[in-house]
Amino acid sequence: MNDEFEKIALLASDTENAQEAATSLLELQDWCDPSEADAVVVIGGDGFMLQTLHDMLDREAVLPVYGLNLGTVGFLMNRLRDPNKLVERVRRARQVSIAPLNMEATTQAGSSFSYRAINEVSLLRETRQTAKIEIAVDGKVRIRELVCDGVLLSTPAGSTAYNLSANGPILPLDSQLLALTPISPFRPRRWRGAILPDKSRVTLRVREPDKRPVSVVADQMEVRDVAEVSLEIDRERALTLLFDPGQALDERIVAEQFIA
């Protein structure tokens, strides 16, 4: 049991059902301000959970987070049940550590941007022209020219999101792997992606940028007209998610592979 979780904060998305649930929970427990909390309960969907985790990364205040699903999928969340036992559930929850990707992007104009991504970083063509992207891993060029709609690098936590939609592999949470997945690839024709050790540094360079401009998206943050993007896991900023027994993210990642 996580007895160190003495002070717990409550955050809810602005959707009507999440606000109603938060109002009910406020009457059952003395909640504290997030700045004083040992853990945070988040009510909403996966999108609001990602927003909350990014806010923590930006503020340098990383707390364990227990999600209650009132969204559509709730892959990062727990079921909303037994409100009177919520605090006990939080303290009994299993802790799962996930590390974000750190993205360093340089635009064609020479501007630099740095963002973190919990799910994935994706490069996408900006016009009707296909993108041409060079792929290097740990300084060695592996594909000189990938002709495609785009390419993405996914963490295990994000492997069931956009990565799966692009026919990428589902990665177990403790696999220490990353999924490098092309989006609608044209050439090389037989290349369907790669699974890389999570210690890898991936560099993506845009070829023919004037004719084939490319944007990059780190979760929800976009940079347009990029020239080069470098990606690697940021182990110093690991996040902690809390799950009920039997509801942990690694079990969901396994289960997702057997859904027809």
| Active-site amino acid positions | 46
What tokens were used for 171?
């990665």
Asked if residue 39 belongs to a known ligand binding site, the reply is no
Asked if residue 160 belongs to a known ligand binding site, the reply is yes
CA distance 36 to 189: 54
Phi, psi (rounded to 5 degrees) for 104: -115, 115
CA distance 17 to 25: 12
Asked if residue 161 belongs to a known ligand binding site, the reply is yes
CA angle 92–97–100, rounded 5-degree value: 145
Asked if residue 215 belongs to a known ligand binding site, the reply is no
Asked if residue 175 belongs to a known ligand binding site, the reply is no
Residue 250 to residues 79, 157, 165, 242, Cα–Cα distance (Å): 16, 9, 19, 12
Asked if residue 164 belongs to a known ligand binding site, the reply is yes
Question: Is the torsion defined by CA of 36, 39, 44, 45 positive or negative?
Answer: positive
**β-bridge partners, 98:** 239
Asked if residue 18 belongs to a known ligand binding site, the reply is no
Asked if residue 84 belongs to a known ligand binding site, the reply is no
Taking residue 93's Cβ as centre, other Cβ atoms within 10 Å add up to 23
**β-bridge partners, 177:** 197
Asked if residue 30 belongs to a known ligand binding site, the reply is no
Instruction: Calculate the CA dihedral of residues 191, 196, 201, 205 and round it to 10 degrees.
Output: 10
Asked if residue 47 belongs to a known ligand binding site, the reply is yes
Cβ contact 152:233 at 8 Å: no
Asked if residue 157 belongs to a known ligand binding site, the reply is yes
Residue 256 to residues 6, 169, 178, Cα–Cα distance (Å): 34, 11, 17
CA distance 249 to 77: 9
Asked if residue 46 belongs to a known ligand binding site, the reply is yes
Q: Which positions make up the binding site?
A: 46-47, 119-120, 149, 157, 160-165
Q: Which positions make up the binding site for NAD(+)?
A: 46-47, 119-120, 149, 157, 160-165
